[in-house]
Amino acid sequence: MCSAAECVLPQLLSCEGLASPGRTHGRVPAPQSAPGSWVHRTPQVTDMELTWQELMAITELQVRSQRELEVPNEGPLESTTYPACEPMAAFDSFGVGQPPPHTLLHGCGGNPAGELAGQYSEVMSACQRPASSAEAQYGMVRPQPPCWLFPPGPHPLQPSLPNLLDHMGVAGAGEGPLTDILGSPQGHGHPSPGFGPGPYKQQVASDDLESDSGLSLGSSPPLASPGNVVNASTASYACVDVGGLGYSNGNPLEAEGGANLCGARARPDCFYPGDRQHAANPYPYPAPPSTYFPPEAGLPPIPPQPAPPKHPQVFPPPPHDLHLKGPGPSGNPFCSPYWRSKGVADGPLSRDERRALALKIPFQLEKIVNLPVDDFNELLSKCAMSDAQLALVRDIRRRGKNKVAAQNCRKRKLENIALLEAELGQLRARREHLARQRAEFQHGLTLARCRLSDLCAEVFSKLRDERGQPYSPHDYSLQQTGDGGFFLVPRNGSDGEAELKTQSFLAH
């Protein structure tokens, strides 16, 4: 009998389904027709792409493995034969490498390639092995031959997301670099990061460059910049031109024709007294909170973060009497003057805030952004505003909503990346498991072939023709019937023996 060491994996398994042209050793590109493969590839093939290709190759490997390991059951006289110990190709670890040239090997007891077709599974049953630990790990159901690799249900390489998460467990999803990103307070933990209390970054003059609401903020001199404290240090009531309306202490709306501001007609310095200003504050307004929007309800309060020492707070904290709550001076809740919500952190005014201040928008920016469209329109209808004010309000609303949308979009993107990375890890683990399982099956198949070859040799050694001469296994092959009988079938073109010289006998 042969030993496993003498037998090499058969060529049958290596050449038919695995040796595809164009494959490189150890790296299996995805078939171009494979769904999910990227036809239009960027010049830089990223590692993610390669990984995806590998994953796609697993599908192909599985299909091919199924094809190869399936034993056709086409009847007792099916013509498929199993050459034993034929030249076999050396496999790489995954069995997907290009097979080497055929090499004649001697093994399996030195028996010439006797062939025995038919009851193959009986021999293979000895090679079946208990489910590996990896199966338990992935909850795989031990499939029955000939579909060992394919448990019932969805395709193992196309698990649904919930299944994947089930497979992943909590720990699996929590690994990977993106988990850190997701776990960071900046990335997650706040449904609306834009509303978070993070310190406002210092605004520069470039903030005021342009506005699609028609404000030529770009024309503002450097004085308009909060960062430019030198030029503005001498004027607590700095007159900053904002598109002709400007951060002046004058009322631009009055200059425009005296639009009714519903009680917001008072000069800005009445709401934001300049005598409370820091000497270096170029703006005649108190320091705004770091975030303009109040924290969302239901969220745990986030402790305020101290301003970076590198960027000292330019604006002093506003006095409490400036944090007006409820209706404005007019008593109309929809026409309260522009003020910031109480309880938000301090920080420089944002661009829109400065614009709103410049145009004396009598609404909270929070309301402008967050009100439903009906309420927003009602709010606008109740307060007659100039075209510039309306345009600015709508721009503020659009930008505010888009800002939130961008934050949500980025959050979703990070979540999707984390999810895909977790899925990638699971698929890689599954690929390794399938590769190990494939190696086990190939080893069992090799043993079975060796035993089959030995059995054939034993049968041929006991067969004699009418002249008492043994049959040559080179000229005849054995085929088995369903009832255990054997037939001697002459090989095609064997020594010109034309007549069907079939001999039936019962197996012992």
Three-state secondary structure call for residue 346: coil
Q: Measured in whole angstroms, how far is the alpha carbon of residue 220 from the centre of its chain?
A: 45
- Does 410 participate in binding DNA (rule CB under 7 A)? yes
Q: Measured in whole angstroms, how far is the alpha carbon of residue 464 from the centre of its chain?
A: 67
Stretch that binds DNA, among 24-32, 45-53, 83-91, 184-192 (CB under 7 A): 184-192
Residue number, 156 or 400, with CB nearest to DNA: 400
Residue among 176, 72, 51, 62 nearest 117 (CA): 72
Least distance to DNA, CB of residue 252, Å:
20
Residue number, 95 or 347, with CB nearest to DNA: 347
Stretch that binds DNA, among 125-133, 329-337, 338-346, 398-406 (CB under 7 A): 398-406
Residue among 143, 10, 22 nearest 87 (CA): 10
Contact characters 306-345, DNA, x per CB under 7 A:
--x-xx----------------------------------
Would you state the structure tokens that stand for residue 71, as one six-digit string?
Answer: 């034993």
Residues between 185 and 204 with contacts to DNA, criterion CB under 7 A: 186-187, 193-194, 196, 198, 201-202, 204
Around Cβ 401, how many Cβ atoms within 10 Å? Answer: 13
Q: Which of 395, 442, 446, 454 binds DNA (CB under 7 A)?
A: 395
Return the amino acid letter for 11. Answer: Q
Q: Which of 167, 276, 340, 397 binds DNA (CB under 7 A)?
A: 397
Least distance to DNA, CB of residue 272, Å:
20
- Does 46 participate in binding DNA (rule CB under 7 A)? no
CB 29 within 8 A of CB 22: yes
3-state secondary structure 38-56: CCCCCCCCCHHHHHHHHHH
Return the amino acid letter for 2. Answer: C
Burial class (CB in 10 A: 0-12, 13-18, 19+), 71: middle
Least distance to DNA, CB of residue 411, Å:
9
Residue number, 216 or 503, with CB nearest to DNA: 216
Stretch that binds DNA, among 17-25, 102-110, 316-324, 399-407 (CB under 7 A): 399-407
What's the CA gap between 38 and 28, in Å, rounded? 15
How do beta strands 116-117 and 476-480 pair? parallel
Residue number, 212 or 296, with CB nearest to DNA: 212
Would you state the structure tokens that stand for residue 234, as one six-digit string?
Answer: 């001498």
Residue 275 phi, psi dihedral angles, 5° rounding: -75, -5
Q: Which residue has the tokens 């498929």?
A: 80
Q: Which of 24, 80, 93, 402 binds DNA (CB under 7 A)?
A: 402
Residue number, 181 or 463, with CB nearest to DNA: 181
Residue number, 88 or 369, with CB nearest to DNA: 369
Q: Which of 323, 394, 443, 491 binds DNA (CB under 7 A)?
A: 394
Contact characters 140-179, DNA, x per CB under 7 A:
----------------------------------------
Stretch that binds DNA, among 34-42, 125-133, 139-147, 401-409 (CB under 7 A): 401-409
Q: Which of 19, 164, 181, 266 binds DNA (CB under 7 A)?
A: 181
Residue number, 180 or 465, with CB nearest to DNA: 180
- Does 406 participate in binding DNA (rule CB under 7 A)? yes
CB 327 within 8 A of CB 333: yes
Residue number, 397 or 449, with CB nearest to DNA: 397
Residue among 256, 245, 180 nearest 418 (CA): 180
How do beta strands 476-480 and 485-490 pair? antiparallel
- Does 367 participate in binding DNA (rule CB under 7 A)? no
For 226-248, b where at least 16 C-beta lie within 10 A, e where not — what string? bbbeeebeebbbbebbbbebbbb
Would you state the structure tokens that stand for residue 488, as one six-digit string?
Answer: 């001697």
Q: Which of 398, 428, 436, 501 binds DNA (CB under 7 A)?
A: 398
Least distance to DNA, CB of residue 344, Å:
13
Residue among 14, 6, 57, 16 nearest 34 (CA): 57
Q: Which of 105, 136, 141, 409 binds DNA (CB under 7 A)?
A: 409
Give start and end residues of each alpha helix (H) in 307-386: 351-358, 365-370, 373-382
- Does 390 participate in binding DNA (rule CB under 7 A)? no
Where on the chain is the footprint of DNA (CB under 7 A)?
181, 184, 186-187, 193-194, 196, 198, 201-202, 204, 206-207, 210-212, 308, 310-311, 350-352, 372-373, 376, 394-395, 397-410, 412-413
